[in-house]
Chains A and B, each alone.
Chain A
Amino acid sequence: MKLLNLKLAALAAGIAIPMAAVPALAVDIRMAIWSANEAHLKLFNEIGAAYTAQHPDVKVSFDSLPFDGYTTTLTTQIAGGNAPDLAWILETTAGDFVSSGALAPLKATFEAAPDYNLADVTESALALWTAGGEIYAYPFSTSPFGMFVNNDVIKAAGQETPAELIAKGEWIWDKAEAINTAVAASGKQGLIVRDFDYKVWDNLASIWNGWGAAPWSADGKTCTFTEQPMVDAMSFIHKAIFTDKAIPGPGVTADFFAGDAAMTITQISRASLLPKENPFSWDLVPLPSGPAGEYAVIGQAGIGVFASGKNPEVAADFLAFFTSPDNAKKLAAFFPPPRSSLLNAEVLGAANPLLSATQIENVVIKGIATGKVKPGHAGFAEIQQTARAALDALWVPEADVPAVLKSVCDRIQPML
């Protein structure tokens, strides 16, 4: 009997002692992200560890979710009662997250954080994440779309390079299309709008913004696919695909970074995909001017704190730490920052060693300063799918462009 009591006492001690070793108020903070890049995670973990050093009762972890279906995974976690404390949010779904009340307000936390200098974060970068004067996410990445070009392929087709056209003040869409048509005729592909793949039509904003077109009005209530700038822009794209073959057609796979094509529109972070072995002569230039003049398009990602998370106050405090001026400078190594003090060639040049000072000035700094964010809307996923289904009729040679665009408006107008 004594032996049994002894065993029970040992068991109780075995359970109780480790429990006592854990601080009673330990808080675990989880941030959902779509990057699994080792260098990104190393930096995030360093910032997390620095926060823990200041707040020993808080542990921070970063949960890498696949980019495909990222928002679906996130909402499924929320539906399952397992919402992360913080999450990266795509610009296209910003409307849904900001308007739904899912995110906790952050302005007071940012303003109270010592040396945070909220005024340094540009208003244009915050616009998408602000509602009623309140800030619901921090736009940690404001990345302009640029045009990567393969000068070897362009010269082989007997064409002038974009840099030469820029020098002559002739870098316009008509010229770009002529180059791509010539390259396509020579056996390579012309222009690839990266990640568009005849499904992610909102990526075409990188072209149609040059015509001053937009999918809906500024207040988001009226479909504008049928307006003349959009009809003209889509007619240009349709002709480039099916008549001039300047853009690879539906179902054609080609990779600019493998040297298959003359140009690709994508964000500057893709510079890391440029080949290290058998490199080609490449350049990064601004998007060509359209009939509406010079323009730039930016993609954004924000970090929000979930109001339904277990510790929204602690999560907001961590976000203020994560995006403080010091840490924002570190993050700028990977993500173009929203702080005006960091938008200079020195910081961005150090962060993007592959890019020249001219490229950084013309594409990154100018792009962030003047660019429009890619279109987004509340209920974007449904609008995106519905418009995608309607636009499928456009991606055939005999398409009636105005009629298809009218059908897009007929379908999405009730959702706006």
Chain B
Amino acid sequence: MPTATLTADRSRKRPFWTMERRDSLVGYLFIAPQLVGIVLFVLIPLGLVVWYSLHEWNVLAGTFRFVGDANYQKLAADPALGEVLGATAIFSAGLVVFNLSLALLLAILVNQKLRGITVFRTIFFSPVVVSLVAWTIVWGFLLQAHGGINGVLQLIGITGPNWLRSPPTAMASVIVVQVFKNVGLNMVLFLAALQGVPRELYEAARVDGASRFTQFHAITVPLISPTILLTMIITIVGSLQVFAQIAVLTQGGPGMSTTVLVYYLYQQAFQFHRFGYGATISILLFLIVAVLTFAQWQMRKRIVFYEN
């Protein structure tokens, strides 16, 4: 058969809109709205932030000047950066440890088959759905020198500190306010994980004479380890984004003790009108989040039982 005839036959047999291509098109159309959203609201702004970080942008003067890596050099030499990163690290570490410990403890407590246990679950979860700013303002009143918390302490003969006015108690207060706000979310995740642990494993362990602690250590923790990893990642990422609590409660003070990276970024960009430098700080924040998330993901084989 001549070649031309063969090709013509093939093209007749295989139209352009094959089933496979149609399926692909439909798939792309389904994800198109999400893709457009990601491009418009994530990728383009991300590119613009990189672009802005290479410029000195004086909003008031209306100048936008290319300065190369000058903002990055300035950031490396910024005398406040060490203090800011220190405050960020303390906040994140405190938040992760306190939040995950408390969330796991609450999840274990509410994972009991008792009458009315759902009421307790609802109570512990309810702060998650409360407005963040309203929650923080109310805590601000409670943490005043003559506020509700010190009033209660006074009843039992303790003179409470001026919580938001000394560096250690101010940082501790901000961490506690954030933990109580969001601990319910991690509690629910842990609760779901705990309920997924097969009962027969505990029964077998009890038959073998394992103590409660051994059961928790050898059965519960390994089997809920994927959830521990998940909650750790979202809590760390969330801790690096904290802003409203700082803005409402301490404005970064006393001194610079609660000036975390996002608040410092806000000050530089929006209060001091240094949008280029603010963009550079946001690149640093992006890198820190990316590195921490990547490192945790790499550690999953050691942390997560199933990954073995």
Contact = CB atoms under 8 A, between A and B. Distances in A.
A388 B257 CA distance: 12
A252 B271 contact: no
Given A250-B165, A308-B62, A75 B270 contact: yes
A88 B58 CA distance: 20
Contacts of B146: 251-253
A251 B164 contact: yes
Nearest to A253: B144
A390 interface: yes
Contacts of A385: 252, 267, 271-272
Contacts of B61: 100-102
Contacts, number: 77
Contacts of A307: 62
Interface string A357-388: 00000000000000000000001011001001
Interface in B147-167: 147, 162-166
B60 A75 contact: yes
Interface residues of B, number: 28
Nearest to A93: B60
B145 A76 contact: no
B145 A252 contact: yes
A96 B61 CA distance: 9
Interface in B199-251: 251
B125 interface: no
A97 B253 contact: no
B300 interface: no
Interface stretch (A12-20, A156-164, A346-354, A391-399): A391-399
B162 A388 contact: no
B121 interface: no
A252 B162 CA distance: 9
A54 B59 CA distance: 34
Given A252-B146, A253-B146, A390-B255, A100 B58 contact: yes
B145 A250 contact: yes
B75 interface: no
A238 B18 CA distance: 83
Interface residues of A, number: 30
Contacts of B271: 72, 381-382, 385
B139 interface: no
A3 interface: no
A393 B145 CA distance: 17
B136 to A, nearest CB: 14
A252 B144 contact: yes
A320 to B, nearest CB: 23
Nearest to A390: B255
Contact of A393 (B59, B255, B267): B255
Interface string B250-288: 011111100100000001001111010000000000000
B165 A79 contact: no
Contacts of B62: 78, 101-102, 307-308
B230 to A, nearest CB: 35
A251 B144 contact: yes
Interface in A35-94: 72, 75-76, 78-79
Given A75-B270, A78-B59, A78-B60, A389 B256 contact: yes
Contacts of A396: 165-166
Contacts of B256: 389
A291 interface: no
Given A102-B60, A251-B146, A382 B272 contact: yes
Given A78-B59, A97-B60, A389-B256, A250 B267 contact: no
A251 B145 contact: yes
A96 B60 contact: yes
A199 interface: yes
B250 to A, nearest CB: 10
A367 B122 CA distance: 59
B253 A392 contact: yes
Given A96-B60, A101-B61, A395-B165, A381 B272 contact: yes
Contacts of A382: 271-272
Nearest to B141: A253
A379 B255 CA distance: 19
Interface in B19-71: 57-62
Contacts of A379: 272
A290 interface: no
A402 interface: no
Contacts of A101: 60-62
A253 B145 CA distance: 9
A393 B256 CA distance: 11
Closest 3 pairs between A and B when the two form their complex, measured CB to CB: A251-B145, A100-B60, A392-B254
Interface of B: 57-62, 144-147, 162-166, 251-256, 259, 267, 270-273, 275
Given A308-B62, A389-B255, A395-B254, 9 more contacts: A75-B60, A75-B270, A251-B145, A379-B272, A382-B271, A385-B252, A388-B253, A389-B252, A392-B254
Interface of A: 72, 75-76, 78-79, 96-97, 100-102, 198-199, 249-253, 307-308, 379, 381-382, 385, 388-390, 392-393, 395-396
8 contacts: A79-B59, A101-B61, A102-B60, A199-B251, A382-B271, A389-B255, A389-B256, A392-B254
